[in-house]
């Protein structure tokens, strides 16, 4: 035992018994000086303001024309030993990093799905970074926890889900859907997977999840991660407008049960990634009730449309879902990442994920009304994402959001009417929201060449369309458009047919933007038909 009169030196401290006195007199190294931070902050806010108001800037391509490694080659191979002044760092941001950005926050970014960062959301990210909250437990951030719960109640009510749904925020719909499948596994508690796992259990049948052939690839990734395997996912064929067929779903469930498999869950989609189709959720929900299956609805893109009163019916039947996901970082003016996950069975989520080690327990947590958000997913540390979502919902208001969504859908409808009236191009799917699927015909008369027909190049020996020719032609149109720097588009395949996609949804996308993009695409198609 060390006596209280024993004195020794250790690492710059003088220790006398159990008393430690710091011998140093200099202050800690500290952070960026406040005045320097203030000056740098004003500089950044001015730059961000210009970027949000004007876009990437004249002559800056939306999709950078760089080769892999171009940016890395301009960055130092190792971190500096001494600090670099902020002005130099900001210059490197503008000169090295900025030219390598794909500008999702441009009104002519129309690939995949929109993800525009609004002013309120950017300010929310700034505040969240400054206060650096970890919203894993109520006591690690009482306000952060309660704000998240309340803001998701707002969003739940705005899209018309029942008050019985409990929500929390995760990063992406991919993780939300994986959490849903894990909850579905726990819902079938007789499987005892939480306690016994899945490995080395010959008595455990193959667990099976059902989703349409148009469902997002994250469903298969979730099945892989959870141990179901790709073979544990049944892809149900779709009808002529890419919706899951309930009759084929029922047949697949019956066949799997007869084969000794264990049907576990069904994933329905409101706004599929390729065509934005809407699965018949009411019919699917009835089948899930009949067979005791968990119903998860992936409304990552289409769900926010229900904020518009006249579009509320897109979520018909979703009140019967066991879990539901919608992504504000797609079409709700919130930057990456922010995915909202709702469930009407929060007790199952807790049973699947709650695990409280001693170092996180507290007598204060004994209140049964208290919510610790770490209990509803796999992550412990949780970003303060609700702050930016709160500012978006509160600053725009439900009516302001509906007005902007309605504007995007009107732009899409107007373009769809133009496509239907225009020769040499066709719509490939219904326009359910603000995304259009279309393709140009390789043959046909080009605009401005009334006296000269362009040779038909897309007909095979049997007189049927040659899909290879369609794919080559439309891929060329898309690549030329993207290389122009004026727009960024993406593609998909619908029942094997190469299809271009144009997603409208940026806060500042205007009718002029849509007209300019369509004129560019049509001109490029004409040039290709002429062999230019």
Looking at the annotation, which residues are catalytic? 359
Three-state secondary-structure class, residue 85? coil
Report in angstroms the alpha-carbon separations of 318 from 96, 233, 283, 323, 362: 46, 22, 11, 9, 37
Longest dimension (CA), the chain: 108
DSSP 292-349: T-EEEEE-TTGGGGGGSGGGGGGGTTGGG-SEEEE-HHHHSS--S--EEEEES-HHHH
d(CA 267, CA 280): 11
Residues in the chain: 532
Tell me how far the alpha carbon of residue 496 is from its chain's centroid. Answer: 25
DSSP element (H, E) containing 168: strand 166-170
d(CA 310, CA 296): 24
Query: Beta-carbon neighbour count of residue 263 at 10 Å?
Result: 24
d(CA 99, CA 73): 13
Three-state secondary-structure class, residue 186? helix
d(CA 219, CA 221): 5
Q: Dihedrals φ, ψ of 170, to 5°?
A: -125, -170
> Which residues, other chains included, contact 475 with Cβ-Cβ below 8 Å and sequence gap of 6+?
491, 498
């Amino acid at each position: 035992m060390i006596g209280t009169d024993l004195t020794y030196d250790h690492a710059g401290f003088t220790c006398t018994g159990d008393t430690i006195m710091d011998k140093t007199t200099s202050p800690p190294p500290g952070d960026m000086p406040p005045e320097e931070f203030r000056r740098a902050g004003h500089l950044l806010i001015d730059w961000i303001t210009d970027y949000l108001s004007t876009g990437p800037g004249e002559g800056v391509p939306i999709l950078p024309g760089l080769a892999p490694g171009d940016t890395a080659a301009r960055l130092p191979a190792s971190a500096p030993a001494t600090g670099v002044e902020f002005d130099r760092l900001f210059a490197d941001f503008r000169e090295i990093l900025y030219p390598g950005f794909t500008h999702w926050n441009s009104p002519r970014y129309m690939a995949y799905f929109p993800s525009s960062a609004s002013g309120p959301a950017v300010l929310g990210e700034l505040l969240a970074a400054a206060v650096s909250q970890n919203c894993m437990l109520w006591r690690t951030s009482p306000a952060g926890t309660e704000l998240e719960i309340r803001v998701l109640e707002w969003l739940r009510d705005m899209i018309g889900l029942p008050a019985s749904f409990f929500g929390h925020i995760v990063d992406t719909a991919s993780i939300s859907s994986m959490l849903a499948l894990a909850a579905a596994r726990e819902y079938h508690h007789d499987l005892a997977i939480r306690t016994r796992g899945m490995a080395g259990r010959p008595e455990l049948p193959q667990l099976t999840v059902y989703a349409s052939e148009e469902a997002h690839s994250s469903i298969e990734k979730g099945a892989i991660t959870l141990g179901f395997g790709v073979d544990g996912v049944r892809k149900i064929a779709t009808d002529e407008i890419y919706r899951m067929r309930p009759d084929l779903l029922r047949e697949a469930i019956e066949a799997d049960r007869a084969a000794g498999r264990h049907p576990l869950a069904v994933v329905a989609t409101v706004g599929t990634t390729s065509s934005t189709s809407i699965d018949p959720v009411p019919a699917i929900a009835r089948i899930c009730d009949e067979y005791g299956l968990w119903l998860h609805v992936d409304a990552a893109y289409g769900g926010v449309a229900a904020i518009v009163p006249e579009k509320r019916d897109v979520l018909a039947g979703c009140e019967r879902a066991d879990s539901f996901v919608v992504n504000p970082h797609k079409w709700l003016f919130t930057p990456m990442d922010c995915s909202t996950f709702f469930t009407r069975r929060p007790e199952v989520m807790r049973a699947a994920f709650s695990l409280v080690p001693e170092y996180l327990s507290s007598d204060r947590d004994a209140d049964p009304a208290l919510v610790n958000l770490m209990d509803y997913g796999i992550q412990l540390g949780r970003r303060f994402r609700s702050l930016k979502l709160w500012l978006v919902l509160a600053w725009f208001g439900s009516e302001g959001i509906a007005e902007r969504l309605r504007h995007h859908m009107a732009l899409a409808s107007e373009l769809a009417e133009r496509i239907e009236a225009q020769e040499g191009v066709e719509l490939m799917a219904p326009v359910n929201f603000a995304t259009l699927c279309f393709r140009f015909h390789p043959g046909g008369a080009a605009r401005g060449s009334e006296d000269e027909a362009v040779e038909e190049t897309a007909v095979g020996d049997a007189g049927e369309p040659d899909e290879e020719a369609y794919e080559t032609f439309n891929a060329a149109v898309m690549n030329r458009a993207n290389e122009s720097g004026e727009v960024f588009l993406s593609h998909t395949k619908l029942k094997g047919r190469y299809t271009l996609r144009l997603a409208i949804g940026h806060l500042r996308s205007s009718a002029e933007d849509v007209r300019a993009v369509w004129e560019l695409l049509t001109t490029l198609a004409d040039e290709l038909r002429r062999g230019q």
